[in-house]
Structure 1
Amino acid sequence: MTIGFIGLGNMARAVIGGMLDKGIVKPEDICGSAKTEATRKKMEDSCKIRTASSNREVAEQAEILVLAVKPQFFEEVIEEIKGISWEGKTIISLAPGKTIAWLQEKFGQRLPVVRCMPNTPALVGEGCTGVCASPEVGSKARDTVLEILGSFGKAVEVSEKMMDVVGAVSGSSPAFVFLFIEALADGAVAEGMPRAQAYEFAAQAVLGSAKLVLETGSHPGELKDMVCSPGGTTIQGIKMLEKNNFRGTVMDAVITCVEKSRKM
């Protein structure tokens, strides 16, 4: 099986790295294209995959083709490759805001398309990817795609109408978490802790808290209550966050991302 990538940016590197780490394919089974020779050379050297300067060449070779370019370049890429034979091929799209119907319209035919939304924690094998497939995707191809997407974290099937929400709660939210970690660390620095140490404490606290939610299955509110002793320090911090509309602001941020995605 040959897996092709058009675009070799961060997300493509995460997917390729996950597949190679899990032994799903060998480096020689992967081919990719990128605009610059420097990017292609970097992937050849780091992952030992095959590369090409032509998107069409990659599309012709691939049985599973991953479109990993930015959304604004999709139409240009599709124009380059849509004249090839698609017999036995499946397309994976990593673009936010581009529906299955939109992709099939641009290709001019009802091709097997899997739309997915990974996030940047995929770079460290802890991604969470929302997945939906067109009816043309066969069960064998679907299982292969889920195996690929699960190689760098979790892959969760959702209805397509939820994909814009996935993009917000999973795709955009790492930026919110990074901002939160930075703010936690800034507070510690303000009270005298060295910055490097503050980042370590803040990041590890977020990592551990997330694992508690996932591994215990407990409601986040229940876990919060476990930390908030009566008359203690934590409940005073919670009070300050609530006073400044912390939860409402986070909810608004997610909703804003969803609305933006729906307009793309």
Structure 2
Amino acid sequence: MTARQTAGRPPLEGARLAFLGAGAMGGAVVAGLVAAGHDPELICVTSRTPATRDALAGRLGVRALASNTRAAQWADAVVLGVKPHAAGALLDEIRGQVGDGTLVVSLCAGLSTGTLESHLGPGARVVRVMPNTPSAVGAGMAGVSAGARATRADLDAAVALMSAVGRAVVIPEPQQDALAAISGSGPAWVFHGIEALVEAAVAQGLPRALATELVVQTVKGSALLLEATGQHPSLAREAVTSPGGTTAAGLHVLDERAVRAAIADAVDASVRRAAQLG
């Protein structure tokens, strides 16, 4: 991962990590790393909001630094957790502290590795990561892509980083926009569906608290069933659908309303918007 990594050493072991921007996503990854056993003394955090930075440091025992340049100079790997619009100025700020031995991992949605590299020196090693909000509860799904000079060890390090808060897959960078629309925006699609089912249950006379419990557990259980069995979703759906039964009647309405096409259009719109932002 860095100039100090030795052959056979697991990714991130003994690495000093600087999280520049300790907001919701960066904070979730830091918490996951500490819970997974990474020495909190080897993690430092910065934030534009001192209270956020200090609260995270106090809760997890990590270092809090006020200076991005000091944090970057201290670290073996820098993790960008700021909003995309703030990333360029931050990279310009730390450019002098990021040498050939420092890995830069970006959690900034939509920003290409080329854009990130343009703000750094010619030897900068950049890995782009697209995380999602379930990372906050250790159930995230992230896509990891290498920049022009990133190594296999750099990718392994980024995967290890995100595996502390869920799962991570290595993908070619051109697939990042599609992944962002599925796993990045995907929680919003799921929450939208959950909200619709809860409202439908309330309309049928169920108390809201009970409706929410029923829907959330049903969605969770359905996902776990697919994961445990490896069954294709269409086969799992057929197992619930008796000919002429109640489920079939409901599915007929969804097909009449072209729900599948609407979902495909929503994903397509999200991909096109991600390309524009990038």
TM-score computed with the length of structure 2 as normaliser: 0.91
Q: SS state of the match for residue 106, structure 1?
A: coil
CA distance in 1, matches of 2:271, 2:136: 23
Q: SS state of the match for residue 205, structure 2?
A: coil
- Partner in structure 2 of residue 171 of structure 1: 184
Letter in 2 for 1:253: A
CA distance in 2, matches of 1:39, 1:14: 13
CA distance in 2, matches of 1:224, 1:18: 34
- Partner in structure 2 of residue 96 of structure 1: 109
CA distance in 2, matches of 1:106, 1:247: 41
CA distance in 1, matches of 2:117, 2:123: 5
- How far off is 1:214 after superposition? 2.0
- Partner in structure 1 of residue 152 of structure 2: 139
How big is each residue's C-alpha offset from its partner over 1:24-77, in whole Å with a ceiling of 9 and x where there is no partner? x11111101000111112112221211111111111111111001010101111
- Does residue 9 in structure 1 map to residue 23 in structure 2? yes
> Are 2:72 and 2:98, in contact at CA under 8 Å, matched by a contact in 1?
no
How big is each residue's C-alpha offset from its partner over 1:167-226, in whole Å with a ceiling of 9 and x where there is no partner? 110000101111111111111111111111111110111111112222212111111111
- Does residue 203 in structure 1 map to residue 201 in structure 2? no
- Does residue 21 in structure 1 map to residue 21 in structure 2? no
Residue number among 130, 133, 137 corresponding to 1:124 in the alignment: 137
> Are 1:96 and 1:164, in contact at CA under 8 Å, matched by a contact in 2?
no
- How far off is 1:136 after superposition? 2.4
CA distance in 2, matches of 1:76, 1:165: 27
- How far off is 1:135 after superposition? 4.6
CA distance in 2, matches of 1:75, 1:126: 29
CA distance in 1, matches of 2:117, 2:110: 14
5+ residue gaps, structure 2, are: 1-14
CA distance in 2, matches of 1:215, 1:135: 37
> Are 2:26 and 2:81, in contact at CA under 8 Å, matched by a contact in 1?
yes
Over the aligned positions, Cα root-mean-square deviation in angstroms equals 1.3
Residue number among 224, 233, 254 corresponding to 1:241 in the alignment: 254
Residue number among 41, 45, 50 corresponding to 1:37 in the alignment: 50
CA distance in 1, matches of 2:55, 2:255: 47
5+ residue gaps, structure 1, are: none
- Partner in structure 2 of residue 225 of structure 1: 238
- Partner in structure 1 of residue 195 of structure 2: 182
Residue number among 81, 84, 107 corresponding to 2:120 in the alignment: 107
CA distance in 1, matches of 2:121, 2:149: 14
> Are 1:56 and 1:80, in contact at CA under 8 Å, matched by a contact in 2?
yes
Aligned pair count reads 263
